[in-house]
Chains A and B, each alone.
Chain A
Amino acid sequence: QTVVTQEPSFSVSPGGTVTLTCGLSSGSVSTTYYPSWYQQTPGQAPRTLIYSTNTRSSGVPDRFSGSILGNKAALTITGAQADDESDYYCVLYMGSGIWVFGGGTKLTVL
């Protein structure tokens, strides 16, 4: 059973930069997994941030960026703002019509 791993929590200072990662319990994440990232605040539906590793969804500010760092997918927030405080989820496409979410990262801005 493939597990997609994310840091459970992270904190960043206002104006700072933070990189959240998305890995695999076994193996490396590459662009062939089409990693995508979603932001969710309590009680709200997820908002799509990044798809296909590094493409920003429409309306997403350019301080959000995606990449592959080593053997993981990464979401970097540059110049963090208070309203970036949210849960962040990555998803990997495993092939054969199967998607797997990571457990999510709770980001605190303080």
Chain B
Amino acid sequence: QVQLVESGGGVVQPGGSLRLSCAASGFTFTSYGMHWVRQAPGKGLEWVAFIRYDGSNKYYADSVKGRFTISRDNSKNTLYLQMNSLRAEDTAVYYCAKEEYSNSWRPLYYFDYWGQGTLVTVSS
């Protein structure tokens, strides 16, 4: 079965950096694009970033563009989110999520499976 396990969260000071990981199993990781989605405490969900199956294209929400970098290591079935210049408003649970395709490999543009999330707290 599909499993997505995030790690790397913790407490970091404003202006600091952190790298999140998402270990994937139960599916052919190299064939699927992957997302990061976050949720600030008591707030709604916010899409953060997407990377295509082969890492050829990356997309970001305006709120993180230029500060966060999504990447993947297909040899390790692992997705990453490098977060730099962190701000208090980046405090959130960060989820990784898998995309899905139709039977004819047309993208369906939704979040198919989700991990359990990892908490990032930006505070001095």
Report the minimum CB–CB distance from B66 to chain A (whole Å).
Answer: 15
Within A65-101, which residues are at the interface with B (CB < 8 Å)? 87, 89, 91, 93, 96-101
| B116 at the binding interface (Cβ < 8 Å) | yes
Provide the B76-113 mask, 1 if CB < 8 A to any CB of A, else 0: 00000000000000000001000010000000111111
Would you call the interface of chain B mostly helix, strand, loop, or mixed? loop
Chain A minimum-CB-distance residue to B114 = A45
- B interface residues, tally (CB under 8 Å): 23
CB neighbours (8 Å) of B44 from chain A are 87, 89, 101-104
Taking a contact as CB atoms under 8 Å apart, the answer to whether A46 and B111 are in contact is yes
Chain B residues near A (Cβ < 8 Å):
35, 37, 44-47, 50, 57, 59, 61-62, 95, 100, 108-117
CB neighbours (8 Å) of A104 from chain B are 44-45
